[in-house]
């Protein structure tokens, strides 16, 4: 089962787009699968809310970073599959380097002091 | 670019997009349910968990929709439809609010149109900013300046000739109360001006019908568009018709464009006349030559005027030439009106605020009734922002209705105020025009008002306590905070209203004081006849005999008790400064005093009583020996403790103090001199008649015209002159009274609302009290306690504000007041008393309801 609410991490604003693009890198996927993948890969730390996932997907599509088409799922149902576009890949690269810089900066700033918490 | 294209493409397929999203969400739901069932939940449990996990589908739709809609616009359209429906469904509310707003917006717009006409708007003339009025100001001893605004034709021609300074110059001369007849029938009063032939052409004012006058024209006339419509049927047949002005025939050759009424702002001309022989003197308006500034122009003309005009002014050492901006018209009253208009603008702002708080409170009450509906909409996923937006759209709708009604109200209000002023012809500035300026102003005011009255209730109403509102069966109760805000708004209305009442009291009492001023003589049946011996062409030596003939003829008219002549008119602020050296009279430096040159039987005709000595007699007028009559103030000031008559220095008599030039005039030392045997000019006859003045007027006119066809320029009763003298005060009093009436109406609606509302809420409690034996009166008192607290706070705040306002504004409005000061305590107390009385009246109905509550019925009420 999913982790308890207390241990979940709030998704940072703007990071959902990045996560979706990354998730789509190996191949096309539908909305539900994307949500599941993010949740599992983050060891249940991140849970994507449907309320924000679908608006985000449509937004990415509107920007031309992903393309969508209807196809049959493995269970034979009609599902909307999202595929990352060339433009989306470029976007992912810039976003990821920005994120890396940000994470590094945060890491440096939040480095525990010697003796802290012991 | 591609994103815009995609947006358009998506917008075109927005229905399908939405279906697509719904299908996708359904797929998501199915997958989720599937997964949960696989984890061991029952079908039902799995479905419910998945549903919960998915959250609100409308919300997802709402958030995704902006991608294929022009959401702001579409939401607006949706909100508008909704708002229209809601307003339609609550007609009483809609009508009350719109009327309220219409009053506030209409009052502001009406006043704006007046302020615009008087202070802001340019005349409909080509390049009005290049026009200047030429004035010459001789500096008299003692620094006294009496500007000269009219010049003879020769000066006009010389100024026109200075093409290095002026591109053009035009002249005009107002005719004082002329007698106009068309086809033998006399016309009501019209403002008439003689103009130089180039007037219309050089101003760039093209007639809408006919042609402008040419240099070769003689005795031709142009009529204003409004007179053309009202008197001449508004068609082409007007051209070629002739009208008789003071006994001379003029033929109409053109119609001036609408809203052009000449340069004098207070006197809108309806008829312009071109004649070779008239006028003798002209007011000068010049168009600056390209690149010349007004300062350069006055500098360039200075030498000319000094050379030609300085010798004319006895005692003047210096002469200044002025070139004043004329593009907004000329107004002697502009400076005098400005503080009045600013005061009224401040008041109208208060009216508008009262309206806004009134409407704000009504909206708040209404939103309370709708609390449940709002809660349902919030529960269905409408965001607070969206709900507030919807409320604001409703406010804007109300403001729009208020704006349209307000314009109609402004039109009506302005015509009512104009009609109540004692003016023979309504000046154009007091005519409301529904044009871009007034409509634009009304729209801006409405939008500001919509924000003012709509924002707070919108924010309050959408602060929905979801669970509470949905659970409670009562739909009419407001959350506590909203109720407090509503009461604060009613208190504001009361406060604003007190300020309005204080202002109305000040101006109303000023008017009353002015109309009760003892001017010292009776204006009853006293007629003032204006004549112009210069226009008639009399030279010195001809004036005396002509006037004597005139006096004889007029006094022979049956019904005329007595008649006199004098140089300048009475009650028209046309003061004369005089100075004579008399032995024993201490003049300080170059000091001069007020005076008048009067003819035989002046004091008898005016009814000014003699205090000592005698008035002028026949010998005085026959000889050149100086004789003076002074007023009591003169005797007190210059001959304290002695009798100037007994000193035999030429002062033959002392008469009582009167107000000679204007109602507001202070009593000052005043000296009457006799008209010389051969005066150079005489401008006025005063006629005291026996009974009905109207019957005598035509005969007097005939008599004057009989002496010389161009001598007569007008006739008016002295009462009319006095009315004109206080027209500004009357207007301010009328408008501020109007405003305070509006304020009272709005405040009493507010108080009535609070009282009724609190009583309605407490009906059950009151019924229980009654059932337990409480006296009716104590219950009434109890039920109105809340209202009294609200009212008391408003009254206190309003009184404090009024005190502060009159303190700060005292010096600004001092000139507008008469017989009392702005900080007059009785006035403020009076305003508070009126407010209390009106509030009490507003509570009568709700209180009456309390006394009629049937305990048995009331207890069962929810």
Burial class for B74, CB neighbours closer than 10 Å (0-12, 13-18, 19+):
middle
Complex ipTM, two decimals? 0.81
Tell me the three state secondary structure of residue B86.
helix
Give the dihedral of Cα atoms B75, B78, B83, B85; nearest 10 deg: -170
Contacts with A32 from chain B: Cβ below 8 Å = 27-28, 31-32
- How far the first Cα of chain A sits from its last, in Å, is 33
Give the highest mean pLDDT range of A12-21, B330-339, B520-529, B586-595: B520-529
Out of B3, B54, B56, name the one closest to residue A63 (CB): B3
d(CA B575, CA B258) in angstroms, rounded, equals: 36
Chain B interface includes A1 (CB < 8 A): yes
A106 neighbors A114 (Cβ within 8 angstroms): no
Residue B105: count of CB within 10 angstroms of its CB:
30
pLDDT > 80? residue B402: yes
Pull the structure tokens for residue B57.
Answer: 């589908």
CA pseudo-torsion sign B242, B243, B249, B251? negative
Tell me the three state secondary structure of residue B494.
helix
A50 contacts B28? CB cut-off 8 A = yes
pLDDT level of residue B314 (50, 70, 90 thresholds): low
C-alpha B85 chain-centroid distance:
38
Pull the structure tokens for residue B37.
Answer: 């069932």
Nearest CA in chain A to B31: A32
Dump pLDDT digits (tens) for B150-196: 888 888 889 888 888 999 999 998 886 677 888 887 787 788 899 99
pLDDT > 50? residue A1: no
The confidence score (pLDDT) of residue B411 equals: 92
Give the dihedral of Cα atoms B803, B807, B811, B814; nearest 10 deg: 30
d(CA B323, CA B27) in angstroms, rounded, equals: 84
The confidence score (pLDDT) of residue B364 equals: 81
Dump pLDDT digits (tens) for B545-600: 899 999 999 999 988 999 999 988 888 776 677 777 777 777 666 667 888 889 98
* Radius of gyration for the alpha carbons in chain A, expressed in angstroms and rounded: 17
d(CA B529, CA B701) in angstroms, rounded, equals: 8
Dump pLDDT digits (tens) for B452-499: 888 877 777 777 666 665 655 444 455 666 677 778 888 998 999 999
Pull the structure tokens for residue B51.
Answer: 């549903």
Residue A8: count of CB within 10 angstroms of its CB:
15
A50/chain B closest Cα distance in angstroms: 5
Dump pLDDT digits (tens) for B67-101: 776 666 777 788 888 888 888 888 888 888 898 89
Could you say which DSSP state residue B55 is in? -
Could you say which DSSP state residue B77 is in? H
The confidence score (pLDDT) of residue B727 equals: 80
User: Residue A111: in which H helix or E strand, if any?
Assistant: none
Count how many Cα atoms sit within 13 Å of the Cα of residue B335 in the half-sphere of its side chain: 1
Chain A interface includes B32 (CB < 8 A): yes
B363 neighbors B453 (Cβ within 8 angstroms): yes
Nearest of B178, B353, B190 to residue B261 by alpha carbon? B190
Beta bridge partners of B426: none
pLDDT > 50? residue B383: yes
pLDDT > 50? residue A79: yes
Share in percent of chain B as helix, strand, coil (round to 5): 55, 15, 30
Could you say which DSSP state residue B83 is in? H
C-alpha B730 chain-centroid distance:
11
Beta bridge partners of B166: B288
SS (H, E, C) B90-144: CHHHHHHHHHHHHHHHHHHHHHHHHHHHHHHCCCCCCCHHHEEEEEEEEECHHHC
A1 contacts B27? CB cut-off 8 A = no
Chain B interface includes A11 (CB < 8 A): no
Distance set, CA B45 to CA B25, B42, B50, B52, B638 (Å):
19, 5, 9, 11, 112
pLDDT > 70: what percent of chain B?
93
Query: Best mutation site among B24, B38, B50 for testing chain A: the one with the most A CBs within 10 Å?
Result: B24
Could you say which DSSP state residue B264 is in? B
Query: Best mutation site among A1, A62, A64, A76 for testing chain B: the one with the most B CBs within 10 Å?
Result: A62
Whether omega for the bond prior to residue A118 falls within 30 degrees of 0, making it cis, is no
Residue A71: count of CB within 10 angstroms of its CB:
11
d(CA B460, CA B17) in angstroms, rounded, equals: 36
Tell me the three state secondary structure of residue B313.
coil
B519 neighbors B604 (Cβ within 8 angstroms): no
d(CA B469, CA B483) in angstroms, rounded, equals: 15
Average pLDDT across chain A, whole number: 81
Distance set, CA A24 to CA A28, A33, B16, B122, B715 (Å):
6, 10, 25, 69, 98
Out of A51, A64, A78, name the one closest to residue B60 (CB): A51
pLDDT > 80? residue A115: no
The Cα diameter of chain A in Å comes to: 58
Nearest of B488, B572, B578 to residue B528 by alpha carbon? B572
A27/chain B closest Cα distance in angstroms: 19
Least confident of A31-35, B582-586, B678-682, B807-811: B582-586
Contacts of B860 (CB under 8 A, 6+ apart): none
Nearest CA in chain A to B55: A51
Beta bridge partners of A84: A66
The confidence score (pLDDT) of residue B584 equals: 75
B23 contacts A50? CB cut-off 8 A = no
Nearest of B823, B802, B826 to residue B347 by alpha carbon? B802
Q: Which residue has the higher pLDDT, A14 or A117?
A: A14
Residue A117: count of CB within 10 angstroms of its CB:
5
pLDDT > 60? residue B1: no
Chain B interface includes A30 (CB < 8 A): yes
The confidence score (pLDDT) of residue A6 equals: 46
Out of B10, B39, B53, name the one closest to residue A50 (CB): B53
B106 neighbors B409 (Cβ within 8 angstroms): yes
Dump pLDDT digits (tens) for B437-459: 999 999 999 999 888 888 877 77
Out of B20, B56, B63, name the one closest to residue A55 (CB): B63
Contacts with A86 from chain B: Cβ below 8 Å = none
Pull the structure tokens for residue B384.
Answer: 């607070």
Angle between helices B727-761 and B334-369 (to 10 degrees): 10
Average pLDDT across chain B, whole number: 84
Dump pLDDT digits (tens) for B348-365: 999 999 998 888 888 887
pLDDT level of residue A73 (50, 70, 90 thresholds): confident
By DSSP bridging, strand B651-655 and strand B628-631 are: parallel
- Residue pointed to by tokens 């002005």: B245
Q: Average pLDDT, stretch A79-86?
A: 90
d(CA B296, CA B317) in angstroms, rounded, equals: 22
Dihedral-angle region of residue B522 (phi above 0 means left; psi in -120 to 50 means alpha; beta otherwise): beta
B249 neighbors B239 (Cβ within 8 angstroms): no
Chain A interface includes B55 (CB < 8 A): yes
Query: Best mutation site among A51, A70, A77 for testing chain B: the one with the most B CBs within 10 Å?
Result: A51
Pull the structure tokens for residue B4.
Answer: 């815009």
Give the dihedral of Cα atoms B192, B198, B204, B208; nearest 10 deg: 60
Contacts with A64 from chain B: Cβ below 8 Å = 2-3, 6
Pull the structure tokens for residue A20.
Answer: 């979706």
Beta bridge partners of B251: B220, B242
Dump pLDDT digits (tens) for B417-439: 888 777 666 777 778 888 899 99
Chain A interface includes B412 (CB < 8 A): no
Nearest CA in chain B to A64: B3
Pull the structure tokens for residue B260.
Answer: 């052009």
pLDDT > 80? residue A37: yes
d(CA B51, CA B380) in angstroms, rounded, equals: 15
B28 contacts A64? CB cut-off 8 A = no
Could you say which DSSP state residue B279 is in? -
pLDDT > 90: what percent of chain B?
20
DSSP class per residue in B236-263: GGGTT-EEEETTEEEEEEEEPPTT---S
């Amino acid at each position: 089962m999913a982790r308890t609410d207390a241990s979940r991490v709030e998704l940072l604003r703007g990071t959902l787009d990045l996560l979706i693009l990354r998730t789509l890198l190996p191949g096309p996927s539908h909305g539900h699968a994307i949500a599941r993948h993010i949740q599992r890969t983050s060891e249940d730390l991140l849970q994507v809310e449907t309320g924000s996932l679908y608006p985000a997907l449509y937004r990415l599509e509107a920007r031309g970073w992903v393309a969508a088409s209807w196809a049959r799922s493995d269970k034979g149902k009609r599902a909307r599959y999202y595929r990352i576009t060339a433009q989306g890949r470029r976007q992912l690269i810039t976003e990821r380097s920005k994120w890396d810089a940000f994470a590094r900066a945060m890491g440096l700033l939040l480095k525990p002091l010697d003796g802290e918490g012991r | 670019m591609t994103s815009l294209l995609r947006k358009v493409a998506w917008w075109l397929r927005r229905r399908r997009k939405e279906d697509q999203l719904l299908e996708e969400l359904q797929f998501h739901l199915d997958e989720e349910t599937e997964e949960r069932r696989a984890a061991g939940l029952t079908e039902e449990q799995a479905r419910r968990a998945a549903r919960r996990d998915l959250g609100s589908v409308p919300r997802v739709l709402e958030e995704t929709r902006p991608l294929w809609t022009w959401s702001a616009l579409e939401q607006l359209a949706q909100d508008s439809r909704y708002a229209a429906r809601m307003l339609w469904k609550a007609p009483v509310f809609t009508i009350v609010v719109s009327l309220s707003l219409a009053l506030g917006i209409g009052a502001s717009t009406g006043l704006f149109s007046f302020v615009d006409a008087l202070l802001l708007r340019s005349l409909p003339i080509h390049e009005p900013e290049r026009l200047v009025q030429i004035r010459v100001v001789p500096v008299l001893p003692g620094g006294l300046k009496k500007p000269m605004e009219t010049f003879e034709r020769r000066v006009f021609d010389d100024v026109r000739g200075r093409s290095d300074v002026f591109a053009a110059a035009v002249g005009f001369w107002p005719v004082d109360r002329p007698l106009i007849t068309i086809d033998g029938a006399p016309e009501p009063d019209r403002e008439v001006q003689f103009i130089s032939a180039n007037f219309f052409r050089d101003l760039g004012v093209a007639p809408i019908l006919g042609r402008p006058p040419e240099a070769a024209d003689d005795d031709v006339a142009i009529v204003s568009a409004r007179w053309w419509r009202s008197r001449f049927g508004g068609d082409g047949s007007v051209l070629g018709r002739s009208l008789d002005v003071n006994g001379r025939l003029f033929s109409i050759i053109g119609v001036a464009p609408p809203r052009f009424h000449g340069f004098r702002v207070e006197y809108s001309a309806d008829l312009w006349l071109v004649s070779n022989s008239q006028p003798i003197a002209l007011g000068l308006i010049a168009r600056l030559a390209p690149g010349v500034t007004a300062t350069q122009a006055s500098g360039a003309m200075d030498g000319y005027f000094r050379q030609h005009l300085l010798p004319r002014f006895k005692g003047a050492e210096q002469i200044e030439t002025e070139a004043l901006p004329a593009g907004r018209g000329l107004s002697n009253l502009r400076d005098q009106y400005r503080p009045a208009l600013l005061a009224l603008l401040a008041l109208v702002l208060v009216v508008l605020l009262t309206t806004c708080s009134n409407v704000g409170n009504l909206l708040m009450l209404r939103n309370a009734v709708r609390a449940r509906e709002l809660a349902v909409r919030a529960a269905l996923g409408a965001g607070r922002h969206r709900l507030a937006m919807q409320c604001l759209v409703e406010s804007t709708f109300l403001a729009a209705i208020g704006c349209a009604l307000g314009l109609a109200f402004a039109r009506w209000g302005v015509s009512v105020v104009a009609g109540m002023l004692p003016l023979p012809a309504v000046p154009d500035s007091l005519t409301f025009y529904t044009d871009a300026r007034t409509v634009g102003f009304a729209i801006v005011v409405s939008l500001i008002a919509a924000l003012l009255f709509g924002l707070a209730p919108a924010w309050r109403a959408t602060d929905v306590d979801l669970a509470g509102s949905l659970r409670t069966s009562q739909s009419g109760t407001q959350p506590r905070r909203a109720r407090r805000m509503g009461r604060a708004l009613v208190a504001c209305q009361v406060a604003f209203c007190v300020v309005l009442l204080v202002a109305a009291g000040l101006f109303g009492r000023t008017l009353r004081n002015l109309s009760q001023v003892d001017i010292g003589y009776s204006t009853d049946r006293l007629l003032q006849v204006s004549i112009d011996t210069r226009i008639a062409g009399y030279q010195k030596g001809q004036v005396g005999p002509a006037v004597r003939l005139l006096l004889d003829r007029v006094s022979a008219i049956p019904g005329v008790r007595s008649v006199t002549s004098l140089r300048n008119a009475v009650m028209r602020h046309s003061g004369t400064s005089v100075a004579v050296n008399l032995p024993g009279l201490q003049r300080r430096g170059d000091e001069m005093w007020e005076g008048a040159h009067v003819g035989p039987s002046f004091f008898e005709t005016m009814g000014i009583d003699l205090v000592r000595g005698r008035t002028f007699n026949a010998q005085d007028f026959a000889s050149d020996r100086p004789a003076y009559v002074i007023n009591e103030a003169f005797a007190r000031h210059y001959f304290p403790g002695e009798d100037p008559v007994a000193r035999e220095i030429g002062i033959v008599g002392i008469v009582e103090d009167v107000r000679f030039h204007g109602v507001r005039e202070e009593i000052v030392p005043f000296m009457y001199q006799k008209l010389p045997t051969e005066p150079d000019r005489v401008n006025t006859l005063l006629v005291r008649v026996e009974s009905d003045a109207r019957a005598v007027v035509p005969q007097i006119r005939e008599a004057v015209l009989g002496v010389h066809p161009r001598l007569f320029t007008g006739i008016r009763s002295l009462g009319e002159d006095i009315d004109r003298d206080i027209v500004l005060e009357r207007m301010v009093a009328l408008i501020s009274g109007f405003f305070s009436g509006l304020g009272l109406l709005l405040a009493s609606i507010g108080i009535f609302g609070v009282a009724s509302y609190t009583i309605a809420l407490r009906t059950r409690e009151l019924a229980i009290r009654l059932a337990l034996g409480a006296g009716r009166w104590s219950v009434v008192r109890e039920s109105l306690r809340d209202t009294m607290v609200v009212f008391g706070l408003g009254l206190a705040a309003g009184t404090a504000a009024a005190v502060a306002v009159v303190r700060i504004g005292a010096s600004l409005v001092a000139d507008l007041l008469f017989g009392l000061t702005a900080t007059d305590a009785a006035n403020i107390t009076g305003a508070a008393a009126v407010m209390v009385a009106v509030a009490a009246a507003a509570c009568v109905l709700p209180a009456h309801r309390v006394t009629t509550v049937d305990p048995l019925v009331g207890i069962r009420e929810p």
